Each structure stands twice: as C-alpha cells, then as structure tokens.
Amino acid sequence: MGVAWLAGGVLIVALSIYGAVRVGSQVDGVNAGMSTDPSEFFSVVLDVFRGNLVWPATATLIGSGIGVVLAFFTVLVLMSKTAGKKHRTQVDWAARHMATSQELSQMRGKEAKQKAERLGVTDSFGIPVGALLAGGQKLFCSFEDMSLLLAGPRVGKSTSFVIPAIINAPGAVVTTSNKRDVLDATRGIRKDAGGRVWVFDPQQVAVEPASWWWNPLSYVTDDTKAAKLAQHFASGSSEVGARADSHFEPSGRELLAGFLLAAAIDNRPITDVYEWTTKPGDETAGDILMASEYALMAKSVQGATRLEHRERGSVYSTARRMASCLKDSTTLPWVNTTGPADKRPQFDPARFVRSTGTLYSLSKEGAGSAGPLVLALTAATVEAAEELAALSPGGRLQTPMLGVLDEAANVCRWRDLPDLYSHYGSRGIPIMSVFQSWSQGVGVFGKEGMLKLWSAANIKLYAGGIAEPEFLGMVSDLIGSYDRETTSASMNKGVRSTTSALKREKILDIAELATLPTPKKGRRTGRAIMMSSGARAAMLRTVPWFDGPKPLVEKINASIKDQQNGTPAPARSEPVRTGEPVLTSATVSAEGEQS
C-alpha cells in the first residue's frame, strides 16, 4: 500500500511539472524543440532537471496554481478520513458480512412508503428503527410489524427508538414508562398534531394533576372481563420471578374476579373491592352476584367466605395483595369520581381508539406501585382497539394504533403479550415492547413465554448494554458466521512456502455483542443489531431524535422546555369520597374519530 501511494505521488508531481513546462513554453515562446508527444512526458521532466530545457517564467505561476489545487484536495481527503474515523467503531467491519440494502428493500424508501399507504397511512415511511450501517439508508418498521427491543440502561432506548416511534405514529398511541423523559419530549408534538393527551400518573412520576379519571370497572362487562381484570391485577402486583402458590394464587384471583364483577353490577366504586378483601365474613358481594345472572360466580364467592378460617384468611390475603394498589390515597382520584359535582372527564377506551390522542401511563416499581392499574388501563385500551378492528373493513383498524410498552417488565407485566404478538399486527395494532434484559422478560413470562414473544416479533432489536451470555450467544448464532481466509508460511530446505485456508468464524461473538458501542455526544457511534423476518441480521446505526431534521429537533426541544417550565402540580389531589356514586359514561367527546 505504501509503495502504491509513493508511485502515485511521483506520477502526479511529474504530470504537474510536464503540464507547467509545456504550457509555459508555449506562452513564453521558449523550448521550441521540446517534444509535444504526451507519451514522452517523463523524458520532458528529466530534460528539465538535466538543464536541457529552459524553465519558463509562466511555468512557475502554473505550478503554483496546480500546487494550491493539489493541497486543497489533499486537505479535503484527510479531513474526510478523520471525520469518518470519528464515527467508526470496533464492530463496523462486521456490517459487510450482514444484510445488505437490497435484502431490506421493503423497509426503506419507495417500498416502505407504498406499504404504509396500503395499510392506510399516507405521507409516511413507517416507524423508524435506525440507519443501515452499510449504505446509510434509513429503515422503517411497517404499521403491521410487532417489534421487540432489548437494551441495557443508558444506551439510548428512549432517544433512538421510543421517542421517534411515538412522534411518527399516524393515529392513537398508548405508551407506558417509569420516567417522564418520553412524555416531556413528545407531549407537545402529539398535542399539536390534533390529538388529546391523557397522562395517567397516580404515583406523580411527572407530577401530573388528576385532571381526568378512569373507572376500571367500566371494563368489566361480564364474568370473562372480570377474570381478565383480576389477572391484570395479579400480574401487576406480583414480584418478578416470584413463585406463585398453586392453590392460593388461583383461589385469590377467582375471589378478586367475583368482587370486581359484583362491584361493576352494583355500580359501586372500585375501592369497595379492596374493602371486601379486608372483610372475610362480608357476604355483600356474594348476595349481589346471586341476584344477577352470574349464579356460579356467586357460589364461588360465597364458598370462599365460608371456608375454614385459616384457609379463608389465606385466600383473602392473596386477593388483598393483588388489589393493594387501590388503597393508596394518591391513586384514588385517578380511578374514582370525587362526587356528583366532579366535572372531570372520564377516560373511555372505546372513544380513545377512534381518535388521534395519546395515552401516557406512568408508574414506579416496588412497593406502592401503580403497575396493576397501568397494565389494566393499557390492556383495556388495546382490547378496545381490537374490538374496533373486528368491526372495521378487513378486520383491521383503518388508522393503526401504536403501542409502545417501555419498561414492559417493570410497569406493564402483561402475561398475555406473547399470545397477542401473533395476531395484533394484522389488526393494525403494532406494538413495540422494550426490555432492559432477556432475564427481565423471563421473570415475567417464563423462559418458554419469552421465547414465544421473541419468535412472534417481526422485528427484533438488540442495542447493547446487556451482559447475559445465554442471550448474547443466541443472538450471535442468529447473526451467523463468515469464512475468514488465513495464510500460514513455512520454510523447507531454505524454500519458503505459503498455504491459504478458509476458517469459519462468528461474525460477532458474545464479547463483541456485550460491548456493542452506544451513542456519544457529537459522535454517531450508536450501533444496534436488527433481525427481521425473511432477511439476514443487519447492523444499524442508531439515529437519536436530536440527529433528526432541524425543524423536528426544534419542536422536541420546545416540548421539553415547556414541560420543564411548567408549574408543578400538587402532590395530592382532592380526597375521594368513596361513598359517592360513580359516573358510568364518558363526559368528553373524542377528537378525530375514525369512521
């Protein structure tokens, strides 16, 4: 390589001297006998150095000009090489052994836009996931792709994936989180797009006032829905990875379902459900159910109240644990009316899914978590979208509704998610689930359930920051191998011989995946591995929102600034009077309803 660069430099200098001497001689009228045959340019240069030809005065000016031009281009080349190194990482070499732009044509440019139009969305390429490292083309998920993102803490999940997804959603959005960063960055843009913003914040993650409320019992229309809601409370309240008691867990869940159904039938506040779990001898719920069409559910509840006192206590304590989020004072105004004079709008999932609104559900982890309510609200809204899709032409939403389940293992432990992934995409309900590690998902769904979720996802993304050899080994195997040429040399009786062979090696091994580069300020070093259906794994350059188009960056910054400058909401809202009647219908009209 060094010899080639030297030879090229000598050739450029010789040609420059030849051109300067030839043109200068013509202008100054000297060197009349000089050869004008271009093939003899090297002889002309040698004659100049030997003194056989006169150096024209004009040649000095021409040579200086050529030197300036060459110096300019040399600086440009050096600057471009330096700038390129600034954004390079230690794993970029692997991109040439992975998916090409042609293999992913359905996720970029014209084909991505055509697919979006076929799914009912105009002027959109889809949901951005990053740029292909080998080529630089932006790639997009379609509005029927179910995606799964695994990335450790502080690797740019929100800036590179969650925020771009939300601001590019064409219709309603449902998103969960345990932080306020996504809310702050996208709230202004979503509001400006014409949709209402609903922020469910019982634990004051974003210090949001309870300016609206949602009645979880409005979801309970029959015993099946009651059982589902009880399952959501059970999933959201259990510790990740905790072993459930095979007897008391299902018994407590069945009792809770009966209480939820009884409260819904009798138009009671949901706080009565928690009160019933504290009174093992109270037969109010059983009497309500016995007077309804749900006689078998009534007998189940009545049977629980008449168990031997120690067993009954265990069943009731299990149900009480599942419903424990209902006793927190900060939660009450979010799930109850404050009385007949309460003018706050009630959230109606059926209206919301017909709008272009955005629902942000926020919760902390640990004791006092509102996770069960976040999960219940998310599931109720997504199921409302599923019901609307069933009534829509083609069995899918005319405008897709995006679900972004950030911190899915912490604040939205939806046990049914692996099953839903298999068909929600075809209904126009694309979902992006975000986990900080593979083990987080295993803790919620079990190993088989997490594998099922992984297999059902059309788009699988790994953005670094995880140090779990089993998971990284699986990703390494899916990325595949390449043939590396090796050369060995040997000496035999003074004769040197070389031998070449092909050696099969992993494109990216576990160590390289564990240290996948993350974004840095001023440097485009974020990398992600994408595995999509029907294509080889691809290496992406992550594209944070602050590297996007300037007008969009300004809007997001303005949204963040507006939230930071806002007046903090009170930590506590007006206390709820649980004895007051509960509103039963939404009091606010939907915005931008679908036909």
Q: What's residue 160's pLDDT? A: 95
pLDDT in tens, the chain (595 residues): 567 777 777 778 777 787 777 777 777 777 777 777 777 777 777 777 777 777 888 878 887 888 888 788 777 776 665 555 556 888 999 999 999 999 999 999 899 999 999 998 999 999 999 999 988 999 999 999 999 999 999 899 999 999 999 999 999 999 999 999 999 999 999 999 888 999 999 999 999 999 999 999 999 999 999 999 999 998 877 665 556 656 788 999 999 999 999 999 999 999 999 999 999 989 999 999 999 999 999 999 999 988 888 899 999 999 999 999 898 888 999 999 988 899 999 999 999 999 999 999 999 876 557 889 999 999 999 999 999 999 999 999 999 999 999 989 888 889 999 999 989 999 999 999 999 999 999 999 999 999 999 999 999 999 999 999 999 999 999 999 998 777 777 777 777 777 777 788 999 999 999 999 988 777 788 999 999 998 999 999 999 999 989 999 999 999 999 887 754 444 434 433 333 333 333 333 333 444 3
- Among 195, 156, 153, residue whose Cα is nearest residue 173: 195
Cα-Cα-Cα-Cα dihedral sign, residues 530, 535, 539, 544: negative
Q: What's residue 578's pLDDT? A: 36
**Token pair for 354:** 């017909």
Q: What's residue 199's pLDDT? A: 96
Q: What's residue 581's pLDDT? A: 36
Distance CA 518, CA 160 (A): 11
Q: What's residue 24's pLDDT? A: 76
Spacing of C-alpha 581 from chain mean position: 41
Residues 6+ apart with CB under 8 A from 510: 469, 472, 473, 476
Contact (Cβ atoms closer than 8 angstroms) between residue 152 and residue 437: yes
**Token pair for 476:** 């390494």
Distance CA 420, CA 412 (A): 14
Q: How many of the other CB atoms lie within 10 Å of CB of 502?
A: 10
**Token pair for 123:** 């002027």
The amino acid sitting at 567 is T
Region for residue 366 given its phi and psi (left: phi exceeds 0; alpha: psi -120 to 50; beta: otherwise) = left
Q: What's residue 84's pLDDT? A: 53
Contact (Cβ atoms closer than 8 angstroms) between residue 105 and residue 538: no
